[in-house]
Structure 1
Amino acid sequence: MDRKYRVFVYHHTHWDREWWATMQDFRIRLVELIDELLDTLENDSEFRCFLLDGQTIVLKDYLEIRPENQERLLRFIHENRIQCGPWYILPDEFLVSGEAHIRNLMLGNRLSEQLGFTNLDVGYIPDTFGHISQMPQILHGFGIDNAMVWRGVGGSSPDFKQEFLWEAPDGTQVFTYWFPDGYYMVDFLHFDNPVKTYEETYGRVRKSIERGAPRATTDCLLMPYGGDHRLIDTRLPRLISQVNEDLNEVAELHWGTTKSFIEAVREQNPTLEVINGELRHFGAELPHMLPGVLSARMYLKRHNFIGQLAMERYAEPFSALAWLNGRKYEAKLLWTAWELLVQNHPHDSICGCSIDEVHREMLPRFAQSKQIADILTEKSVQHINSRIDTSDLGEDALAIVIHNSLSWTRSDIASVWVDRKHAIHPKSHILEDSEGVEIPFQVKDVSGMKPMTDKHFYTEISFPAIDLPGFGYKTFYLRVRETACDPKQMYVNTLQPSAKIKGSEPKSDVQVGSNTIENTYLRVEVNQRNGTLRITNKQTGHIYEDLGAFESSGDAGDTYNYAAPLIDQVLSTKNNPLKVHVSAAETGYAKVTLQVDIDWSLPKKLSDNRLSREVVYVDYHMTNYVTLAAGSNRVDVRTVWNNQAEDHRLRVLFPLGEKFRVSQAEGHFDVVEREAAVLDAGNGWPETYVPQKPQQGFVSVKGSDKGMTIANKGLTEYEMLDDEQGSLAITLLRAVGWLSREDTLIRHGGAGPETPVPEAQSRGMNEAEYAIFVHRGDWMEAKIGTEVHEYLTPSYGSVTVKHDGDLAKIGGLLDLEGNHSLMLSACKKSEKNDALLLRFWNTAKEATTATIKMKKKAQQVRYVKLNEQPLDRENVPIQADGAFTVNAKAAEIITLEISF
């Protein structure tokens, strides 16, 4: 070798809080580990330091059992002999939201502040299944200018160096170290087998150095010593000393830390390659990416979407708006809900690749987090309602207040649940806005639990709520009609000719006919042979055929990887459903829903040799609820089915009608463009190329002129199919029965223990929700981003009664104006002071400017970091009318602190 290398050995454990054992099982091991660690640090000064992984929750889990050891533990942290953080938990990056990553890092900081120490400022993410494009910007927002990664990046030696600059779409760069041999190195000093000879130990160390040297950009090498749930090795100081005696001029091992290694490399200022965007690459010499976790146990992804939405779009913004109107801001409760939610975000938890008991134990955390969020939302909304002047409300009338938690003025089909005892119906009641204009509405019976009430049976009232102010509300009055309507009236607009009676003239643009629903913008027809949809965009004339066919293929993989069996049988409802039945699930002036029932049959499971699907079939019933609302340019679909087939993947297909080159999918503070073409399928690689991609809120494609966007509620995986119709495939379900298997065709070796996980087959009732947008051009040209988030974030309906108040019947916090490309990410109270915090991200890859007009004039507006510390920038100038202008670079996340 051409130089003598400095080898930084850091001793560590990678602590999966739950995985192939339960959280409590692993916690007992954790307690034993830290007990021994504290004793060793007390008694052996040569045992330098230990990394308790990149997460602080290990301290919380330990101290709940050993509170008497807090002082000892903190002493060694202050002495830098124990390190942890900066995360609260080590997350999967693709399956949780961008705001969840920010809250995760904030929780890590909160815990360290409570215990009185400073977190390790190393972006330690060694085992996540690929890395999101904006992670450098997120880390930088917490004062972290480096990262340590493994999966999703790499290349052949010596071409690919272990150090590089990782650049986010906005240009933020962090110094990044890539683990050439992974973070998991427990046997080079024979951790697990101390009877091995010293000669073998020395040989392993020497070979590791020889492998790493060509990849180094300096004379520094990093050698992790530890692995998953590994205890400490008290022999390490002596083994390092012994090996150094024989390395001579080749290298010298130092007991170091991740931070000291990074500092040593940076001191030499090496020339580093710049790598852009998400790290999600496959190759002959790359570690396993394990992307099948995007679709394992899809019910967890749906629960997580619901939980994140409840916090980010309802509980936090409404708590902040109520606080601005005099209510106490329940920060502790909000953080409790976030903590429960984030505890489900570790990469073996939200990914669905743990044992069944682990995932059963996640469900109460999801439920408790949402319970807190829902109660805080309702209390906040009712506080605002109590200040609205409804003193002119008549006897036996109700005030319905529709709240908008988005930062722009929007229209929506609003819904509110009212106690069924009021016997509300359009025949007997009239709904009016604040100007006394009648609003058409429809009703249906519903049942369920609402926060802070023991009632269970309700009437759901739905109606168009037009121009809801940004972060605002509108009040409507519901009262008994002076003269009841004709009891024969149907309250529906028909496509076919129909006899008219007094009062039955069309009240909205939505119409229904035989297998067809239509409004001003769209015509939606159900194919009675196979249940697919034909959508006509009446504005452009474009027609989209065969939308929504279901496809089932065999899955001989495991929770980590989808793997088609050697001889697969792919079945589609487009070609072979047994029966299709279309009926009216709901009709009215606000919206119409068609119920499409499809009877199908699928192979029961894989054959015993797992090389093909079994010849035995089971009945498979799918139900689509297809909704078109008045004035809407989207089609909403809710799919419900009883999964009784095993070992298969179920997807829903959306053909554009022509080939497309790229997809654009919402990610984390970024819309990521990905090529449809597959350059190398990876025959012979340790893990073959996987065409399935991650998404957050939507995926969009464009042909020569026509475009299509599919929004989703927790459907985290899609694929661009190589077919003539240019189809998108959205995964609804991936049913498998093994945590990991060694015999898949797609991956060499296992990814975890070969443990049966029958509940990953997801038998029983399943549900999925998605929406279809058809438009001209791409998603940006069609301004679909805001419309997607209006679909994902319905307005919030509430009921109040007659009372005095100081708020008008219509009110809002702000108007967001200008031809900008900003998207709201967060609205909350500042952690640092009595100020409102608004976070936006620029959806475009070019700079943008927006004007914010506040209804309540701000005293000061300034930019802050993601950790809410001030940025070294001038305060934003505020105009006389209270408006101010904000600027964002391409793909930049901006956070505004607004004081009043």
Structure 2
Amino acid sequence: MAFNDAIAKLRALTQTNVQQGWRYCNGDIPYPVATQPQSWENWSIAQLNEKDYITWSAGRQVIWLSQRFLVPQNLQGYPLSGLGLRLVLTWWAESAEIFVNGQLVQEGDLFDSSTRILLSSTVVPGEEFAVALRLLSPGHDIGGLMRSQILYEATNDIDPGFVADELTVIQKYSASFNPEQLATLAKAVAEIDWDMVSQRTEFMRSLTRLRQQLSTIENSNFRIQNSQNSIHMLGHAHLDLAWLWPVSETWEVAVRTFESVLKLQQEFPDFTFCHTTPALYAWIEQHRPDLFKRIKQQVAAGRWEIVGGMWVEPELNLIDGESIVRQILYAQRYVQKTFGQLTTVAWVTDSFGFCWQLPQLLKQGGIDYFVTQKLHWNDTTKFPYGAFWWQSPDGSQIFSLMSPPNVAGVMDTNPITMASYAIDWEIQTSLKEAFWLPGVGDHGGGPTRDMLQVARRWQKSPFFPKLEFTTASDYLLFAKRGLLAKVSRLKVSRLKVSRLKVSRLKVSRLKVNRLKVSRLKVNRLKVSRLKVSRLKVSRLKVSRLKVSRLKVSRLKVAGCIENLSVGSLGEEEIRTDERGGGKGQRQTTNNIPVWNDELYLEFHRGCYTTHADQKRYLRRCEGLLYQAELFAALKTIATGQAYPKTELEEAWKKVLFNQFHDILPGTSIPEVFVEANQAWQEVEEVTGEILEESLNAIASKITLPPPPKPNAQAIIIFNPLNWQRSEVIAISIPVSIPVSIPVESIEWEVYDCFGEKIVSQVSHDQAQEIQNHHNNNDNLSYSQIELLFLASNIPSVGYRVFWLCSNDVELNIELRPSNRFPIPDSRFPTPDSRFPIPDSRLKIPDSRFPIEDFVLENQYLRVVVDPETGELSSVFDQVNQREVLSGPGNQLQAFEDSGQYWDAWNIDPNYADHPLPATELIGIEWIETGVLRKRLRVVRQLMRSQFCQDYILCAESPVLKITTTVDWQERHVLVKAAFPLAIDADYVSYEMPCGVIQRSTRPQTPAEEAKWEVPALRWADLSDQTYGVSLLNDCKYGYDAQASQLRLTLLRSPTWPDPETDQGIHQFTYALYPHQGSWHSADTVKLAYQLNLPFLSLLWSPANSSVVSNNVSNNSQPSLPSTGQLLNLSAKTLILMALKQSEDIPDQWILRCYESHGESANLSLVSDLGLKVVHPVDLLERPISLSEASSDEKLVKIEPWKITSFAVESII
């Protein structure tokens, strides 16, 4: 009998497929009726589809399935009496309820979607079990029962099914590593005494003899446990903080999961478990202190491991670098304080891709390892490595592991599944030790008792890898050391070496065939077991050479290589030349492959765009937190007022929570976003208050220059960015005037701090109409004026005083606290809101205007808007005298975007094949034509939706802004803003957290082709050798590019899991920035920051200083000049990330910055507040040596792409 036939015959003795035996009833019926066998007689037999599945309709539809199971005397002649009986099920249903003999025995859902129900521990022939299943289909998909099987097993001994699994494992290992042993295995299996099947005792003796024979065959590796093969297990329960359930349900699931784990740990003393998310532990600590105390005890005992390294498991493509820092900082501080240890493992198994700077950030946060499984989800390529060094642009490396797939779902302890994975792992990595994470995830659950019982059973099998529980940190250390040790066993084929210089190379077990070497110089070479054939060497110089058992063939190496380490190459042909490994190239360091690129997930590309409200709130709150912390710190340094540490930390933690990988990407149910939006708005409120209070406090220390006129009102313009800048600013002025004076008759003047009059302009943007309210009691009119002027040369993180004057009209400029620092409201208007221009004002001309009527022009750009379409017909660079566009610019391109199972997550890969009709222009008119700002409004119709866009060109600015308000009413539609460009570029550059990444515009490999939609933060840039164009944005994250085109993804409209995703009003801005040279020389990084963090304006009068807190230092007199530079890093390419109070030393401040251009920079602090560097710190604010300081102690050298933090103090 053939080997596979024997395996199938053994399984048939204890296992039966029962898929064809189910009866069904569509629709819900009362439980007492549905679970009684007499009700089933009229139910129809369920039909199987081509996959042998039972399926039913989508949309949360109920189906009842029923079947009676009668225990026979035997299966295929094998007696069953006394064996255990299990029902094995796998379903796809939103909920599953399983009844046995009328009793509910188990529940499940989409995530806990399989089970092995114990029907009886010792069956008796003739015994019957009546099973009913109530299954509810998902709202977005059909339901399915994919597997149902009856399984008889001997729990304390072997049985035919168990032996069949053992033989399958042996066969898999032999086929993969020792194929010459397959004949011996087949011969041994052929000796099974099938005639004794009906005599269970005798037949089992036959199987026992087979096992003994396999154990003793000389020179075989059938005893896998003796071959150093092992599977290291760690219990796991991935728990999404929100997804298809609200956050409140997460807390309940966490409690159930953790209580289950603790109970199982009492029953299984070797069982270890890990879990992430300090935010979750903090909730347990507060609300269930009894449970938390037990968890802490298990952590102290080494049986419960805290992994994760971040406050939640966040979306890591969209959040900025400081957000990642705070994820790490607050997580590590909580874990250190609560559990007495730092987390060494970043565990982000389910996030949707990982930015390239993450290794540097993790390493600076005290984290040594990175683990994910998400790249198993790739739709185009297979990620090449299981264990690897992941390297950031600055050279930081972290040892990384691609864990087994489906960690976020269900991983059981099925022996065939585990062994197959262990074999694949060994083939991929050469490690005989695999890592396995049993448990139910997504909606929590953790390992089940059955999983642990199965594992315990297989721990006793000599034909299975050694099974042992471990921790993630122990396994990762073990794996790293194991890979590093592989350098001692090097086998290479076809070696050719030219000009090879090696220092301190130690190799053992090296075999060389046909070696040709020219000009070889080796120092301190130690090799053991050397075998060489056909050796030809010229100019050989070797010192301290010791070689034994060396085998190499067909390795070609050119150039000069220092500190060479090569290993695990098998029979590959290796070619190394003098060029260093660049981004994405597969390199090797210390025998471990290096991935020097982002970890791009070839899936879930729609997450960059879905639920635009979450993206807008994110960008805004990140900016507000940066500014609130910055100016609160400067306030405390300048005035001695208290720093709002608690309020800022609470705000940060709300933002960090909302960065969870199913909230920020927009892939949850509607209830989740109601809670998330409330948290965002609370952050806006508290940071706005802190920022307003801080600016007022700093203003109280500023010495005002003499006013140019008696009625002049001081305006202080603050710059939150760390470089001097000049921009047109719009300030909102609340005034009250006698009702007899028309607001329009007032003439406004602005003066600089030297008393020089500067150009100003009253805005006539009727999208923000002047608010004019008459109060009969005081005979005054209350108005809100928007005034424009050019705020020039505002210092780095500094300010400048200006003066506001009017003509002889007596004005009362209101300085109420709510108006002193106006923060535009970021809350989205309700769907009933209308566009800023009333419909009656939309001009739909009968005859087209001359094209000159729609031209925006300054010294940098001449922009022509097409009166037929509202698109850009020309953008002419007046400095470089060239046309920017190669076709109509700002095309609103819409496409069908449907048919994806993961609706909110995935853009249809074939969306480009399904374009929708072009937009129709329904209105165009000038809003402003002043000397400081020109503003042209176009309104376009896209099916049921309207786009109202203002083209804005300001004086002294090379940037064309496009402010957009959309009433979005589409379903399954994707819309992009497209800019065909007169450029031909091989690469496109995108901003990522704390850096820039290049991606190809001419994809050559499947991996490059898979990047047809990519994430970016504030900008993308397409540049050739001499010229380029940057596309900036204030809250969008999805881009795509070709050699001559940039596109920004604006909106999409999936319907699952939120059926109303993105319906309603959206507001955002993007901008076109043509420039000479590269993005480096054009300062694209800075202009993108400026779009997102405009100047802050403060109407100020010393008479109002009483509103400033009295909690100030003794020196409360003004001490700052009228133009102040509070913080300057004195390096063009350094970007300030944060200035905040030290977590542990209140009198010290943490300054963090990153190098943004890929070139070295020298940091030198200049500050009117006397700030100086004390020493560098890591992200956890622990001191590190100032090893990179230059000879001038005031200068600190910062390497390319480096993120650097410092403790600073004020010496004033």
> Contact 2:896–2:916 at 8 Å: present in 1 too?
no
CA contact (8 A) 2:728 2:932 kept: yes
Pairing of 1:656-667 with structure 2 (within 5 A): 656-667=981-992
- Counterpart mapping for 1:177-216 below 5 A: 177-184=401-408, 186-189=410-413, 201-216=414-429
Judging changes above 3 Å, is the alpha-carbon distance between structure 1 residues 279 and 153 closer, same or farther for their aligned structure 2 residues? Answer: farther
Matched, 1:37 2:261: yes
- The CA deviation at 1:479 is 2.5
Closer/same/farther in 2, CA of residues 216 and 185 from structure 1, 3 Å limit: farther
Aligned AA for 1:292? Answer: G
Q: SS at 2:375's partner residue? A: coil
Instruction: Indicate yes or no: 2:599 matched with 1:279.
Output: yes
C-alpha distance 154-299 of structure 1, shift in aligned 2 (>3 A): closer
- Which residue of 2 is the match for residue 308 of structure 1? 622
Shift, 1:890, TM fit? 1.9
Does 469-478 or 263-272 show the bigger shift? 263-272
Matched with 1:864 is 1177
Partner of 1:784: 1084
Does 2:135 align with 1:135? no
1:195 corresponds in structure 2 to none
- The C-alpha deviation readout for 1:322-344, integer Å capped at 9, x for no partner, is 11112211111111111111111
The 3 A distance-change label for structure 1 pair 184 and 152 is closer
> Is 1:72 paired with 2:294?
yes
Q: Is structure 2 residue 876 aligned with structure 1 residue 536? A: yes
- Structure 1 residue 828: Cα displacement: 2.0
Which residue, out of 833, 855, 861, partners 1:516?
855
Q: Does 1:258 align with 2:472?
A: yes
Aligned counterpart in structure 2 of residue 570 of structure 1, from 888, 904, 915:
915
Q: CA deviation at 1:61?
A: 2.6
Query: Per the alignment, do residues 436 and 383 of structure 1 end up closer, same or farther by CA in structure 2, a change over 3 Å counting?
Result: same
Q: Given the alignment of the two structures, is residue 703 of structure 1 paired with residue 1024 of structure 2, yes or no?
A: yes
Q: Which residues of 2 match residues 590-629 of structure 1 at below 5 A? A: 590-598=932-940, 600-602=941-943, 618=944, 620-629=945-954
Structure 2: which amino acid aligns with 1:105?
A: I
Task: Determine whether 1:99 maps to 2:359.
Answer: no
Q: What RMSD over aligned residues (CA atoms) do the two structures have, in Å? A: 2.9
Deviation at 1:267, TM superposition (A): 3.0
Q: Which residue in 1 is equivalent to 2:36?
A: none
3-state SS of 2:664 partner: coil
Amino acid in the other structure paired with 1:406: L
Give unpaired runs (5+ residues) of structure 1. Answer: 190-200, 283-288, 450-454, 485-511, 603-617, 740-756
Per-residue deviation, residues 30-63 of structure 1 (Å, max 9, x unmatched): 112223333444x3361532112x2111212323
Q: Which amino acid aligns with 1:316?
A: E
The residue that corresponds to 2:680 in the other structure is 366
Q: How much does 1:412 deviate?
A: 1.8
Q: Give the equivalent residue in structure 2 for 1:639.
A: 964
User: Aligned partners of 2:456 and 2:263: how far apart in 1?
Assistant: 22
| Aligned partners of 2:284 and 2:292 also within 8 Å | no
Identity rate, percent: 21
1:261-410 aligned within 5 A: 261-268=475-482, 269=484, 270=486, 271-280=591-600, 282=602, 289-312=603-626, 314-326=627-639, 327-390=641-704, 392-393=706-707, 396-410=711-725
The answer to whether the Cα contact below 8 Å between 1:133 and 1:277 also exists between their aligned partners in 2 is: yes
Aligned in 2, Cα 1:894/1:305: closer, same or farther, shift over 3 Å? Answer: same
Residue 108 in structure 1 maps to residue 328 in structure 2: no
When residues 566 and 649 of structure 1 are mapped into structure 2, their CA distance, relative to the original with a 3 A threshold, is closer
Give the superposition deviation at 1:815. 3.5
Q: 1:594 and 1:373 mapped to 2: Cα distance?
A: 33
SS in 2 for 1:514: helix
Cα distance 1:184–1:432, how it changes in 2: closer, same or farther (>3 A)? closer
| 1:235 positional shift | 4.6
| Inter-partner Cα distance in structure 1 for 2:1092 and 2:1196 | 26
Count of residues in correspondence between the two structures: 798
In the alignment, which of 437, 445, 449 is matched to residue 234 of structure 1?
Answer: 449
Cα deviations by residue, 1:97-145 (Å, 9 ceiling, x for unpaired)? 1111111111212332453532421011211111110111010011112
Change in 2 beyond 3 A, CA 1:163/1:448: farther
**What is the CA deviation profile of residues 530-583 of structure 1, one whole-angstrom value per residue up to 9, with x for unaligned ones?**
11122111110111232211000001131111116789541464xxx4335321
TM-score (norm 2): 0.63
Task: Normalising by structure 1, report the TM-score.
Answer: 0.84
Equivalent in the alignment of 1:504: none
Match runs of 1:621-770 below 5 Å: 621-679=946-1004, 689-721=1010-1042, 726-739=1044-1057, 757-760=1058-1061, 762-770=1062-1070
Partner SS for 2:438: strand
1:465 and 2:784 correspond: no
Offset of 1:457 from its aligned partner?
Answer: 6.2
Q: Could you tell me how far 1:798 is from its partner in structure 2? A: 0.7
Take 2:247 and 2:260, find their aligned partners in 1: how far apart are those partners?
A: 20
User: Please, which moves more after superposition, 581-590 or 559-568?
Assistant: 559-568
Q: Quick one: distance in 1 between partners of 2:1150 and 2:929? A: 41
Report the residue type matching 2:751 in the other structure. E
Deviation at 1:772, TM superposition (A): 0.8
2:752 to 426, 433, 449: 433
Q: Does 1:554 align with 2:896?
A: yes
* 395-404 or 121-130, larger mean C-alpha shift: 395-404
Partner SS state of residue 460, structure 2: helix
Deviation at 1:68, TM superposition (A): 3.6
Distance in 1 of aligned mates of 2:912 and 2:985: 29
CA deviation after TM superposition for structure 1 residue 860, in Å: 4.2
Q: CA deviation at 1:427?
A: 4.3
> Deviations along 1:582-606, whole A, 9 cap, x unmatched?
21223433322111122x343xxxx
Instruction: State the distance in 1 between where 2:1184 and 2:1021 align.
Output: 35
Aligned: 1:221 with 2:541? no
Unaligned 5+ runs, structure 2: 1-172, 178-226, 487-590, 772-780, 811-850, 1104-1116
Q: Larger Rg: 1 or 2?
A: 2
SS in 1 for 2:390: strand
* Equivalent pair of 1:184/1:225 in contact (CA under 8 Å): no
Task: Output one character per residue of 1:125-166: Cα deviation in whole Å (capped at 9) or x when no partner.
Answer: 211111110111010011112111223379999994421111
Structure 1 CA distance for aligned equivalents of residues 320 and 1087 of structure 2: 19
In 2, distance between residues paired with 1:860 and 1:640? 45
- The residue type equivalent to 1:472 in the other structure is G
Partners of 1:639 and 1:767 within 8 A in 2: yes
Mark the CA change 1:134 to 1:221 in structure 2 (over 3 Å): closer, same or farther: same
Cα gap change, 1:119/1:567 in structure 2, threshold over 3 Å: closer, same or farther?
closer
Paired AA for residue 299 in structure 2: I
Equivalent residues of 2:310, 2:328 under 8 A apart: yes
Contact 1:185 1:225 in 2 (8 A): no
Q: CA deviation at 1:784?
A: 2.1
Task: State the one-letter code of the partner of 1:629.
Answer: C
1:786–1:203 CA distance, 2 compared to 1 (3 A) = closer
Q: Secondary structure at the match of 1:152?
A: helix
Partner of 1:525: 864
Looking at structure 1, the residues matched to 466 and 263 of structure 2 have their Cα atoms a distance apart, in angstroms, of: 28
Task: For residues 150-191 of structure 1, give each alpha carbon's deviation from its aligned partner in whole angstroms, at most 9, with x where no partner exists.
Answer: 2337999999442111111111111111124342463533xx
- SS of structure 2 residue aligned to 1:884: coil
Q: Give secondary structure in 2 for the equivalent of 1:759.
A: coil
